[in-house]
Amino acid sequence: MKILKSLLIIIITAAVSLNAGAQSGITPQLKIEKPNLEAIKAATYDATSPYYYPRLMKEYMKNDTLMKLDKFRHLYFGYMFQEDYNPYRPKAVKGSVPDPSENPSLTRTECDSVISLCEKALEDNPFDLTNMMRLISALHLKGKNNLANIWQYKLNYILMTIASSGTGLDEENAWYVVEPQHEYVLLAAMGHKAVNHLFYAPYYEYIQISKSDPSAADGYYFNIKTILDEYYRKYPEEK
C-alpha cells in the first residue's frame, strides 16, 4: 500500500525542481520560504497570537483537516522551542512496531496492536512520522478510512512544511527538520532512496540518493542547527 498521496509527491518535487517556475498552472505550487525561527518562537509564546503553541497543538490533535500550511509551519518549527522538545528522546514504545504497509496480511488483532502502539508513540512524540505512517496503514487495513485520511492529511502537511523551508539543493537553501529521521521520510516521499549521508560544518547534513535521472540532484541538504544545539545542551561533553 502506498502511504503518500501522489499529489504530495508532485507538489514537493515541483517545489524543489530547478524548473519549478515552468510548471506554474500545472501543479499546485509550494511557496519556498526559509523559516524565521525567532519570529516563530515569539508567535508560539504569545498567548494573543493565533499561533500560540498550546492552542496550536490542541487544534492539531483534533480529528479534523482544518489546519493549513501557515499553522503547520508554526506547529512544526515552533516545536523546537517548546519545553519538551528533545530530538533524541528515548522511544516511548520499546522494540519494533510491525509495518502494515509491508505486511497487509496482518490480522485484525495484530492491526489493533499496531494502532495502540503507534498511538502511544504519537502521544509521546506528535512528530514521530515513522509510526504515523504505520498508524495510517493499520487504520486502512481495519477499514477506518476516515481516521486514516485525517492522519494522512497531517503527515502530508508536515512534509510540505519541511519542503517549504528551502529547496534542499545547497546549504543556503537547506531544508529544516526537527528530527533526523524526518530527512529520510521526506526523501522517501519524493521517491528517493538514501545511500549515504555526510556532515558539513557547522550544521548541515547532506543525504546522497540513488538516482536514475542523470540530470537530477545527487543529494539534498538539511539544516540541523537546532538539533545540534539541543544535543550539545544535553551532552556538553560531546562538543
Which pLDDT value is given to residue 64?
A: 84
Collect contacts of 150-158 with beta carbons under 8 A, ≥24 apart. 150/63, 150/64, 150/65, 152/3, 152/5, 153/65, 154/60, 155/3, 155/4, 155/129, 156/4, 156/5, 156/8, 157/67, 157/68, 157/69, 157/72, 158/72, 158/76, 158/127, 158/129
Which pLDDT value is given to residue 27?
A: 38
Strands 219-223 and 175-176: parallel
* Dist CA 72 CA 165 (whole Å): 12
3-state secondary structure of 16: helix
Q: What is the pLDDT along the chain (239 residues), one digit of tens a residue?
A: 444 444 455 455 555 553 344 333 333 457 889 999 999 999 999 999 999 999 999 999 998 888 999 999 999 999 999 988 988 887 777 667 888 888 888 888 999 999 999 999 999 999 999 999 999 999 999 999 999 999 999 998 999 999 999 989 999 999 999 999 999 999 988 888 999 999 999 999 999 999 777 777 899 999 999 999 988 887 777 66
Q: Which residues contact 138 (CB under 8 A, 6 or more apart)?
A: 100, 106, 111, 114, 115, 118
The residue written with cell numbers 522551542 in the block is 81
Which pLDDT value is given to residue 235?
A: 75
